[in-house]
Amino acid sequence: MDNGKDIKRLSRLTAILTQLQTKRLTKASELAEKFLVTKRTIYRDIKALEMAGVPILVEEGKGYSLMEGYRVSPIMFTESEAYALITAEQLILKNKDSSFVKEYSEAINKIKSVLRNNTKDKSNLLSDRVLFRINSNNNRTSHFLSTIQLAMTNFKLVKIKYQSSENKQSTERSIEPFAMYSTQENWLLIAYCRLRKDFRTFRIDRILDLFTLNEEFEPHDMTMQEYFKICKKKSIS
């Protein structure tokens, strides 16, 4: 018996279990790439976890998932608590110390692993739609970030009172939150504005008032990358 190999495999099995809890669906190819092993090895690992009593479900052609309700850790987070930690991760990823980034990312994976499937999907959506950019000339802050995050991931229409930067006049708008990005401390919200009938960028520190409505909107079938491509085309034309 090779104790070194056994320990390495046990470590991988634990990491695979955490990964299965982190995402709703995980493909064998993703696991093989992450752990630098073959897909056949992953198949054997999944079988070993099943034999150990882990309720793994297989969706043909889509990947593996854990049975709803199965948890390794009893720790639970509210949506807002999870979102605060996941948003912070995007800032940590810009840090120049690779070990700090690695440890924080692993910690976030463990946090994601104990979320319910519904919240897990929303947290992954949030991770994909939060970016940071640098703007050293502005340090104004706001207090609507958490509310906007919840509205964005639950596809809730939001009514805002927004102050213009040019004439300081305010207008009321109904918007469909799509994504956010940050220029240091200044958060920007990308949303479909029903008043202008187009996507607009709103500085959150210029939102004077905000209210989440009960009305839901259809999710926008677009990624952040596609949105920025559209913006680039508009600026060129």
161 pLDDT above the threshold of 90 = yes
Question: Span 87-104, mean pLDDT?
Answer: 73
How far apart are alpha carbons 56 and 67 in whole angstroms? 6
| Residue 19 to residue 31: CA distance in whole angstroms | 8
What is the CATH code for 3-66?
A: 1.10.10.10
Q: How confident is the model at residue 1, as a pLDDT? A: 46
**Per-residue pLDDT at 138:** 46
Q: Indicate the pLDDT class of residue 97, thresholds 50, 70 and 90.
A: low
Q: Where are the domains of the chain?
A: 3-66, 79-128, 133-236
User: Is it the case that residue 172 has pLDDT exceeding 60?
Assistant: yes
Question: Average pLDDT in the 162-188 region?
Answer: 85
pLDDT above 70 coverage of the chain, percent: 84
The mean pLDDT of 121-138, rounded to a whole number, is 70
Q: Which residues pair with 181 in a beta bridge?
A: 131, 188
Residue 52: helix, strand or coil by DSSP? coil
Across the chain, what does the average pLDDT equal?
A: 81
Mean predicted confidence (pLDDT) in 16-37: 85
Least confident segment among 18-22, 62-66, 169-173, 227-231: 18-22
What pLDDT, on a 0 to 100 scale, did the predictor assign at position 77? Answer: 66
Specify the higher pLDDT residue, 81 or 201. 201
- Cβ within 8 Å of residue 29, ≥6 positions away: 39
Picking from 129, 132, 134, 139, the residue whose alpha carbon sits closest to that of residue 83 is: 129
Residues present in the chain in total: 237
In angstroms, rounded to a whole number, what is the distance separating the alpha carbons of residues 72 and 26? 17
Task: Identify which has the larger pLDDT, 134 or 138.
Answer: 134
Residue 130: is its pLDDT beyond 90? no
Place of tokens 């999870």: 82
pLDDT of residue 194: 95
Picking from 186, 210, 84, the residue whose alpha carbon sits closest to that of residue 135 is 186
Q: What are phi and psi of 79, to 5 degrees?
A: -55, -45
Which tokens go with 166? 């040019």
Q: Is the pLDDT of residue 178 over 90?
A: yes
Q: What is the pLDDT of residues 37-86, one digit of tens each?
A: 899 999 998 888 888 788 888 888 788 988 877 766 555 567 787 788 77
Q: Does domain 133-236 have CATH number 2.60.40?
A: no
Kindly tell me the burial class for residue 136, based on how many C-beta atoms sit within 10 Å of its own C-beta (0-12, 13-18, 19 or more): exposed
Equal CATH topology for 3-66 and 133-236: no
Identify whether the C-beta of residue 129 lies closer than 8 Å to the C-beta of residue 155.
Answer: no
Percentage of the residues of the chain whose pLDDT score is greater than 90:
23
pLDDT of residue 210: 94
Q: Is the pLDDT of residue 135 over 70?
A: no
